[in-house]
Chain A
């Protein structure tokens, strides 16, 4: 008896739900093997990773705090990914948003205006979109591969950040530390839950999720983008422009990442410093896939990934797990997701071998 792969004509909802769940189960299995090899009790490790963060108010706040940027960025990236526009530089677009918003906050450091924060959100969002827009322009005008350009741009953004915090935006009273002055209260998001660090910027991510859902499920542009990714030739035949898809995919992803950058500097950080994001821009790529590139799936995926982040920090303290285990978990998740996805759009068919 032999098997062959047959392409499914339709991906069922059941398969779409099973694939990420299977990926999570497999990741946990692989994780327990890894922890055992490291001489740690897998059960204790999983308890630290997945239960501890959710068992205290502070922990839940931390998970929600990390969920915000992951959710926001992943919703933006997913729209591009559906159109096969590969933006892997969300980390840099996040930094661009953080830098622009910080510049505004520091310029109006005595302002008490209620408009300061909304203005920062707008400026940061535009800066993120503009940073991604460079890649869109180079791709549409010069055919330069957006995967490479977005990655290079994020390395450049990081150096720009280092430059700003060591010079133009450095706190003059800050003893030469590479960081800016503290933002005024008017430039900060209000706290959402007492005794936690989570703040109102989470609502931006939830609003973006709703917008993404409407865009993807209900709008013609969303449909065009999807077709452009699934069947470029059909899309061209129908008169949908590929260039427009590249622009739209990158600008939306960049805007979302830029907005997430504002949420970091105007949220838990309260200033501009050398380290803004613990790799949200890269982790959001995994979130987008794990969520099946679907706005609702991404909400769950972002929560799970945030849990891994917080659990990683907590297990470092309580079980002594190496600090790279969160990164390894992230990689494993995507590896298993991609492997399982084969069965969402293919099935195995038995074939008789004729002699």
Chain B
């Protein structure tokens, strides 16, 4: 019994990690006033790139690095569209998302269905030997801890640093931020690149650690759940992280229930994350005041400097 609890909790942390990376990135992008809906496509590109590079080079570091770079390049297309061509952000996000899904298949085409040895767990010595806690917290790979580090970093930067203040100013009122002399477009551009790189890491975590294989369509809607997580979390990194762990737990429970042989149709279990997303979205959005208070004021609107 204790073993299966350890398995469930440890699995929850692992399942949440791809979501965490991408959601921390999207939190920064949205705080800067840009709605990037292409996460699904960016995660797919990261997943395929990471897998292909790690398989060919044999290096996980290169895999993750190229995944981040690849998705950041894709996100730069989105950035150019919305920042310089003032494209509608919803439409641009969909366009780049579709493009990313297409590219991911192209990038992974020689690796379709292949597996890879999962990113090895860290050697943490006696920590991993601790009863219960060792199994849950201290027997994971490096990237899982990097994701936790990113939560703290993004939280600290957004709420306690000067950089965070500038990002938030750009997202709340680009006109005012620009008037004080902040380069609104540059800051948004960098935020979008950061969001892209993070989505890429999230995707690569799927193919190099969580699953670990490449198949077309492997991201399976996680990118959209990430967009929803940012809304549930009211654009606050710690709450978003809580949401990501909750979703990690849901996907683990799905495996667990199937393993126990309950007579629930497997399709209902597969639909669970989406149903739960809708339910939580409804609960959180019910109060429009709460949303309005937290949601970055210029989110989704095009902005250009009128000299």
Contacts and interface: CB of A to CB of B under 8 A. Distances in A.
A190 interface: no
Interface stretch (B86-94, B139-147, B179-187): B86-94
B122 interface: no
Given A144-B282, A162-B270, 11 more contacts: A148-B227, A148-B228, A149-B281, A152-B275, A153-B278, A155-B271, A159-B271, A327-B105, A330-B98, A331-B97, A335-B77
Contacts of B37: 147
B28 interface: no
Interface in A165-223: 166-167
A318 interface: no
Interface stretch (A44-52, A68-76, A259-267, A281-289): A281-289
In this complex, the member of A86, A331, A341 whose beta carbon has the largest number of chain B beta carbons within 10 angstroms is A331
Interface in A91-149: 138, 142-145, 147-149
Contacts of A163: 265, 267-268
Contacts, number: 135
Nearest to B37: A147
B275 A335 contact: no
A330 B102 CA distance: 9
Interface string A1-22: 0001100000000000000000
B101 interface: yes
Given A142-B286, A144-B278, A156-B274, A86 B90 contact: yes
Given A152-B274, A159-B267, A335 B224 contact: no
Interface residues of B, number: 49
Interface in B44-94: 77, 80-81, 85-88, 90-92, 94
A130 B105 CA distance: 34
Contacts of B282: 138, 142, 144
Q: Which 7 A-B pairs have the closest CB atoms?
A: A331-B99, A327-B102, A324-B105, A334-B95, A328-B102, A338-B87, A159-B271
Interface of A: 4-5, 86, 88, 138, 142-145, 147-149, 151-153, 155-156, 159-160, 162-163, 166-167, 282, 285-286, 289, 322-332, 334-335, 337-339, 341-342, 346, 351
Interface in B211-266: 221, 224, 227-228, 231, 265
B90 A147 contact: yes
Contact of A286 (B95, B101, B270, B291): B95
A339 B87 contact: yes
Contacts of B97: 331
B99 A335 contact: yes
B4 interface: no
Nearest to B228: A148
A145 B91 contact: no
Contact of B291 (A138, A143, A148, A351): A143
A142 B285 contact: yes
Contact of A341 (B87, B104, B228, B274): B87
Contacts of B286: 142-143
Contacts of B291: 143
Contact of B231 (A148, A328, A338, A341): A148
B62 to A, nearest CB: 21
5 contacts: A138-B282, A143-B288, A162-B267, A328-B99, A351-B307
A45 B60 CA distance: 36
Contacts of B81: 335, 338-339
Contacts of B288: 143
A149 B278 CA distance: 6
B95 A159 contact: no
Contact of B91 (A4, A152, A289): A289
Given A286-B98, A334-B94, A342 B271 contact: no
B98 A331 contact: yes
Given A328-B99, A331-B99, A159 B281 contact: no
B277 interface: yes
Given A338-B85, A341-B87, A148 B224 contact: yes
A342 B85 CA distance: 6
Nearest to B286: A142
B106 A322 contact: yes
Contact of A331 (B100, B227, B275): B100
B90 A335 contact: no
A8 to B, nearest CB: 12
Nearest to A165: B267
Nearest to A343: B85
B98 A148 contact: no
Nearest to B35: A147
Nearest to A283: B98
A322 B103 CA distance: 10
Contact of A152 (B80, B88, B224): B224
A282 B40 CA distance: 13
Contacts of B88: 338
A324 B98 contact: no
B278 A152 contact: yes
